[in-house]
Each structure stands twice: as C-alpha cells, then as structure tokens.
Amino acid sequence: MSKRIGSFAVNGKKRDTIIEPHMLLVDVIRDSLGLTGTKRACASGNCGACTVLADGQPVCSCLTLAVCSQDKALETVEGLRAADGTLHPLQQAFIEHCAAQCGYCTAGMLMTSKALLDANPRPSREDVKRALSGNICRCTGYVKIIDAVLDAAQKINAAREVAA
C-alpha cells in the first residue's frame, strides 16, 4: 500500500492529490478533489450515476482505478458550465423539461448525454434511448430526460448554424 501523489486533469485544470493503488476514481473525484456532483450509487457499474468522461468517453468512475486515470482528460458535471457560469445547453434543457427529480442520476445522465452529442450531434430518439440505456433513473420514467437531450441537441445545432 504505497501512497503517492496522483496528478489529474479534471475539467481542464491540473489537480494533485494523494492516492493509493486501491482507490477508485469516483472516491478521488468526490472525497479528494471535492467534486461531489458525481454520485456513488451502486459501486458495480450497473446504474451509471457515477459516469464521468475520460478523453471524451463515458466511463463508470466506480469501476475505474484512480491510478489508471492520470493521463486522461477528465470531465465531471462541475465542468459543464461555461467559464462565465452559463449553463450548458443540456443543463438548460434539463431545467426546462423538468428532467431531474431526486437528482441522484442527473450528473451521470448529463455526462453520458454530452458524450453522445459530442459524437453524434443529430441523434434520433432511438439513438438517445440507446445511449442512455445504461443510466438508471428511478424517478422520472425517462421521458423528460430523452425530450431534454433531443431539445438540447437542436439548440446546440441551431447555435452552431448561427455562428457559422
């Protein structure tokens, strides 16, 4: 059991903290780095609540050893907002559609959705359902979450077209 300094690139910032070989990424993110928006819910990779992005890919941080994540660009829910505090279109759409109830799955839903929209800016409803099928929500019945993701995709695309 050797303690060492671990270096993480989280939400575009370099963060150093003491880690041990057995530590999980979710525990380092929450307990060492204080980013408690990411949730522990099943600790076995079955519910998706702990989803963060590693080099743009959604991963279950409860199944990932912290030591293996040091060379990856990590994104958590706290990094979704723009630098000026503006909410990400996904966050805005979740608010408008009332797509969060208890909120425990929400960070995972948002991060999985972001990975989807980054890779597939114009997803069909079926695409969204498939992308989110590994994220469990016990409260909403999913409808408003799916609606919100599709709405956000549309708004992101519209903004891109205006910019172009």
Partner 1 sequence: MNDFAYVGKPMTKPDIYGKVTGEAKYTDDLVIPGMVEGRILCSPIAHARIKRIDTSKARALPGVLCVLTHEDCPKSRFSRSTMAEALPEFAFTGERQDQYILTDKVRYVGDWVAAVAAEDIYTAERALELIEVEYEPLAMVLDPFEALKPGAHVVHEDCPNNVAFEMDHPFNCGDVDKAFAEAIAVAEFSGVSSRQKHLHLETDIAIAAFESDGRLVIHSPSQGPHLAKKHLTKRVFPDLEDGDIRWISPAIGGGFGARLALGVEPAAVLLARACRRPVRVTTTREEDFQGYSSRTDQHQAIRVAADKDGKLLAIEQIIVADSGAYLSHSATTATVNMQKTLGVLKCDNIRGHLTVAYTNTPTTSGFRGYGNAEGAFVFQQALDRLAEKLGMDPMELRLRNLKVPGDPSCFVPVPLAHTKLEECIHLAADKIGWKDKWLGWDAKKEGRYKRGIGMSILTHASGAGGFLLEHSSCVMKVLTDGSLNLIVAPCEMGQGILGALAQVAAESTGLKYELIRISTGDTDVTMFDIGSHASRSMLVIGNAVAAAGVKINEQIRERAVSLFEEHQIRLTKDDIQVKAGQITSPKAPGISIDVGRVAYAAIYDFGSGGSQLNASGSYQSTSHHPNHQAAFAEVEVDTETGMVTVLNYVSAHDIGRAINPLLVEAQMQGSLVQGIGFALTEDFVIDPETGNVLSDSLLTYRLPTTMDVPEMEHLLIEDPLDDGPFGAKGCGEAGLVNPAAAIANAVYDAVGIRVHSLPLAADKVLWALRHGEDIAPGRSAVSGQYL
Which parts of 50-109 interact with partner 1 (CB under 8 A)? Answer: 76-78, 80-81, 87, 91, 94-96, 98, 100-107
Name the residue with tokens 């695309």.
157
For partner 1, the binding residue among 10, 28, 37, 66 (CB under 8 A) is 37
Least Å from the CB of residue 164 to partner 1:
28
Distance, CA of 137 to chain centre: 14
Helix, strand, coil percent content, the chain, rounded in steps of 5: 40, 15, 45
Q: Which two tokens stand for residue 10?
A: 């989280």
For partner 1, the binding residue among 10, 49, 116, 117 (CB under 8 A) is 49
Distance (Å, rounded) from C-alpha 80 to C-alpha 62? 20
Name the residue with tokens 């998706």.
48
Least Å from the CB of residue 128 to partner 1:
8
φ, ψ for residue 108, nearest 5 deg: -65, -40
Instruction: Say what the alpha-carbon torsion angle 61, 28, 90, 109 is, to the nearest 10 degrees.
Output: 30
Q: Which of these ranges, 53-61, 67-75, 124-132, 154-162, lies near partner 1 under the rule CB under 8 A?
A: 124-132
Q: Which of these ranges, 67-75, 113-121, 140-148, 156-164, lies near partner 1 under the rule CB under 8 A?
A: 140-148
Binding site for partner 1 (CB under 8 A): 22, 30, 35-44, 46-47, 49, 76-78, 80-81, 87, 91, 94-96, 98, 100-107, 110, 128-130, 132-136, 138-146
